[in-house]
């Protein structure tokens, strides 16, 4: 059953919901996360692997094609609903949240915006129902300078031949479809970058070493090897040389998704910390009775609410067709800052117990660190904000 057809489980309304449909959607995702994801979190983290059965459930719930039109197999939902799903999933497992995030805000959105009608009919139904996607931009020498790409694409008749290596590609271990960025005209610099849609079974395409990460361990991050990969010219997304624009504009939306992920992570850390503070006793009373602990919790709550408002403000601007580059950078910057800070404070409230794997705050603290790094580091977000302010 599509998730937007589910009825509300009757929970209290969340703090930031603008209409009944979004409220019901949030409740349904939260219930799914508690019932289906929570029991798997520890095992997936220790194994460093997403449970394949869970991935199938994410498709069945409609969470992998939220904005894809219903006639193409998706949910016909909104960008805001995609962020709601990411935030709620991150409260239970940020690893699962980023799988859904990359699918919706990067891969699906790029094909929806830049794909021809034929390309959309070909790929979007698969992405909505059974095929995971990956956004293959980064390379060893192209991190913050994402467009110093060494991967090359050479035209050969009706095909392009791709060679190179991609690194840190989220979802790569499970993906069946890759958006691969390579330079088809190196003399033009970044204006020669082209985006190709490449099937997993393409000859010469290999998924390399899977990174053994500090956090979000269930989300796969792998090397992608391009060895004489032939891609039909019909599988160019947009036009040759348009890859720079596709990547920039898509990542601007993706950063709002990371903001939602980090906000959900921080909210979970606060919830665990507050619950523990009410239970843990010292000097004959719960530690929540001590003013210092109360003030820490209050600061955490305020920081989280400010991050959430930045995230959904950026989302609404995007949906209204307003410029949102500065707001997306602000949301990504601030949410990743507070996620790390709030998770750290939560560990401290747990004391020695928080430093063990017996409680979930340890994992949230590990998961938070990546927020300041991927889809644009904190410094890159600050530069973007300043550039927008100064014109």
Could you tell me the CATH number of the domain that includes residue 325?
1.20.140.10
* Domain encompassing residue 327: 245-390
Distance CA 249, CA 391 (A): 18
Question: Are 65 and 75 contacting, i.e. CB atoms less than 8 angstroms apart?
Answer: yes
Give CA 122 to chain center in angstroms: 24
Average pLDDT, stretch 116-143?
96
Two tokens, residue 184: 């088809």
Rg over alpha carbons for the chain, rounded to the nearest Å, is 21
Instruction: For residues 256 and 377, state if they share a domain.
Output: yes
- Total domains in the chain come to 3
Tokens representing residue 113 in the block: 């915006």
Helix axes 79-92, 20-32, angle to 10 degrees: 30
Question: Encoding tokens for residue 67?
Answer: 């904005």
233 and 311 in a single domain? The answer is: no
Q: Contact 103/179 with Cβ under 8 angstroms?
A: no
Rounded mean pLDDT, 175-191: 96
| Cα 37 from Cα 21, distance rounded (Å) | 23
Interatomic CA distance for residues 58 and 132, integer angstroms: 10
Picking from 239, 262, 294, the residue at the C-terminal end of a domain is: 239
Residue 220 pLDDT greater than 60, yes or no: yes
| CATH code, domain with 88 | 1.10.540.10
For residue 13, the model assigns a pLDDT of 36
Inter-residue contact 168 to 211 (CB < 8 Å): yes
Average pLDDT, rounded, for the chain: 94
Dump pLDDT digits (tens) for 9-68.
Answer: 333 334 454 588 898 999 999 999 999 999 999 999 999 999 999 999 999 999 999 999
The verdict on 252 and 358 lying in the same domain is: yes
What positions carry a catalytic annotation?
375
Residue 165: phi and psi, rounded to 5, are: -135, 135
Query: For the chain, first and last CA: distance in Å?
Result: 48
pTM across the whole model: 0.94
Contact call for residues 6 and 24 (beta carbons, < 8 A):
yes
- Averaged pLDDT, 195-200: 98
């Amino acid at each position: 059953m599509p998730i937007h057809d589910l009825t509300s489980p009757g929970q209290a309304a969340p703090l930031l919901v603008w209409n009944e449909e979004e409220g019901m959607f949030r409740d349904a995702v939260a219930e799914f996360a508690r019932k289906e994801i929570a029991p798997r979190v520890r095992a997936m983290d220790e194994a460093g692997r997403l449970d394949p059965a869970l991935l199938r459930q994410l498709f069945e719930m409609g969470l992998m094609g939220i904005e894809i039109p219903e006639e193409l197999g998706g949910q016909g939902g909104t960008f805001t609903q995609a962020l709601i799903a990411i935030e709620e999933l991150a409260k239970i497992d940020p690893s699962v949240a980023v799988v859904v995030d990359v699918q919706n805000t990067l891969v699906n959105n790029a094909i929806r915006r830049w794909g021809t009608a034929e390309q959309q009919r070909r790929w979007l139904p698969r992405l909505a129902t059974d095929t995971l996607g990956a956004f293959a931009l980064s390379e060893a020498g192209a991190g913050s300078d994402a467009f110093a790409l060494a991967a090359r694409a050479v035209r050969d008749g009706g095909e392009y031949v791709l060679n190179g290596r991609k690194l840190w590609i989220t979802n790569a271990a499970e993906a069946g479809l890759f958006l691969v960025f390579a330079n088809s005209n190196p003399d033009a610099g970044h204006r020669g970058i082209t985006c190709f849609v490449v099937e997993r079974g393409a000859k010469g395409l290999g998924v390399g070493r899977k990174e053994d990460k500090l956090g979000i361990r269930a989300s796969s991050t792998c090397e992608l090897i391009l060895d004489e990969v032939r891609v039909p010219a019909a599988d160019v997304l947009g036009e040759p040389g348009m890859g720079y624009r596709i990547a920039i504009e898509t990542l601007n939306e993706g950063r709002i998704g990371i903001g939602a992920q980090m906000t959900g992570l921080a909210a979970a850390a606060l919830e665990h910390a507050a619950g523990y503070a009410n239970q843990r006793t010292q000097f004959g009373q719960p530690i929540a009775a001590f003013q210092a602990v109360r003030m820490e919790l209050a600061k955490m709550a305020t920081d989280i609410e400010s991050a959430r408002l930045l995230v959904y403000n950026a989302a609404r601007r995007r949906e209204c067709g307003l410029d949102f580059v500065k707001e997306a950078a602000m949301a990504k910057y601030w949410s990743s800052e507070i996620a790390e800070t709030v998770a750290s404070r939560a560990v401290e409230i747990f004391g020695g117990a928080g430093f063990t794997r017996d409680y979930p705050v340890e994992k949230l603290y590990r998961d938070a660190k990546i927020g300041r790094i991927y889809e644009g580091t904190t410094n890159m977000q600050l530069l973007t904000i300043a550039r927008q302010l100064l014109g």
